[in-house]
Amino acid sequence: MEHVEHLEHTETPKDMKSQIWKTFWILLAFTVIDIFFYFILLSTHAMWKNWLFIFLGVIKAYFIVGVFMHMKFERKTLMYTIILPMVFVVFLVTLMIIEGDYTNLLRWVK
């Protein structure tokens, strides 16, 4: 056991406090945009409105996971180990939603 000091450890930036505040303001801006679009499009029942909110939510989740959960500072292999299965699960859920909608549509066609 000569040198145990050399462990796999990624270094976080020295200016983490400013990074957190920057991320806070970005998240606040996206939340304000989210609320603004909600009240502007309140009476609209379009499908693209839902996709807009999902897109804004994914952007906010990216910043939360990247900075507050320190995923931005991890190694690429760990990031891929966590992110790729999640993308695969989202893909499967999307396929199930499409299939369920198609099955529901066929129920009414005679």
Query: How confident is the model over 19-75, as pLDDT tens digits?
Result: 889 999 999 999 999 999 888 887 877 778 888 888 899 889 888 888 888 777 778
- Assess whether 50 and 83 both reside in one domain: no
Domain count, the chain: 2
- Assess whether 69 and 23 both reside in one domain: yes
- Assess whether 24 and 65 both reside in one domain: yes
| 1 domain-assigned | no
| 9 domain-assigned | no
Give the Å distances, CA to CA, from 27 to 4, 30, 63, 65, 69: 39, 5, 7, 12, 14
- Assess whether 62 and 84 both reside in one domain: no
pTM of the predicted protein model: 0.60
Residue range of the domain that includes 58 = 14-73
